[in-house]
Amino acid sequence: MEIVRRADSLEATAAFGRQLSGLLRPGDIIAIEGDLGAGKTTLVRSIVGGLGLDAGLVSSPTFVVANEYPGSESAPPVVHVDAYRLSGSDELDTIGWDRILTDDSIVLIEWPSRIASALPAEHATVRLVAVAETSRRIELDLPASWTERAGLLRLAQPPESRPATECPITGETVPGDRPTWPFANEQARLADLYRWMHGSYTITREIKDADLEQGE
């Protein structure tokens, strides 16, 4: 599944990253593509912050290849890989790649094309394409298995086109332009993530297109 969004400022790119964080689950891998200066590390920082973790810890791990950011009671840890200086997948042994793939971290990878052969088939890809000095076209390719996840509609619809909805946690009416939509606030969004992490949600039937059109 592909989602394309336009971000006309660095703040809009960061807002998309926070929205994306609401879709993520332990074990997810996201390849982040883009030229130098496209905003890859900014996107990582916003995803980490959106998970409720310390975004201030995020820096480009170009010289150490990978940074690990501790998780919390409501969010898994994040591993941030920068493959820019790697010449191939065989160099991943130095960062314990096999261990990273088998734990419950969320893995965010800059310059993924340099280690493409090591990426599992089940991963998402974000492409940041510059269209102006601070504007980006964001292209998000998701595995088919992710289409059943709560929060997908929030990513697919820009804020100006989203309908008001009812927060699945608090029951409060949430306007379409609220940054945490479809959740009433950040606490409700994290509560929803906690439920997914601990298996409180189950899918009992195949997801239909109409489900995505109607929202949560």
What is the average per-residue pLDDT within 102-116?
A: 91
Residues 137/33, Cβ–Cβ less than 8 Å: no
Q: Give the pLDDT confidence of 168-182 residue by residue, as tens digits.
A: 889 999 887 676 778
Q: Which residues have CB under 8 Å from 180's CB, separation 6+?
A: 174, 186, 188, 189
Residues 176/152, Cβ–Cβ less than 8 Å: no
Q: Which residues have CB under 8 Å from 72's CB, separation 6+?
A: 52, 53
Kindly tell me the burial class for residue 60, based on how many C-beta atoms sit within 10 Å of its own C-beta (0-12, 13-18, 19 or more). Answer: middle
Of residues 34 and 64, the one with the higher pLDDT is: 34
> How wide is the angle at C-alpha 77 spanned by C-alphas 126 and 36, nearest 5°?
35
What is the average per-residue pLDDT within 1-14?
A: 87
Strands 124-130 and 29-34: parallel
The structure's pTM equals 0.72
Residue 196 has pLDDT above 90, yes or no: no
Which pLDDT band, with edges at 50, 70 and 90, does 159 fall under? low
CA dist 175 → 37, 41, 77, 172, 210 (Å): 33, 30, 31, 10, 21
- Which of 29-38, 41-50, 174-183 has the weakest average pLDDT? 174-183
Which pLDDT band, with edges at 50, 70 and 90, does 211 fall under? very low
Instruction: Give the integer Cα–Cα distance in Å for 195 and 204.
Output: 16
pLDDT of residue 201: 53
Strands 29-34 and 106-110: parallel
Residues 139/2, Cβ–Cβ less than 8 Å: yes
Instruction: Give the integer Cα–Cα distance in Å for 204 and 128.
Output: 35
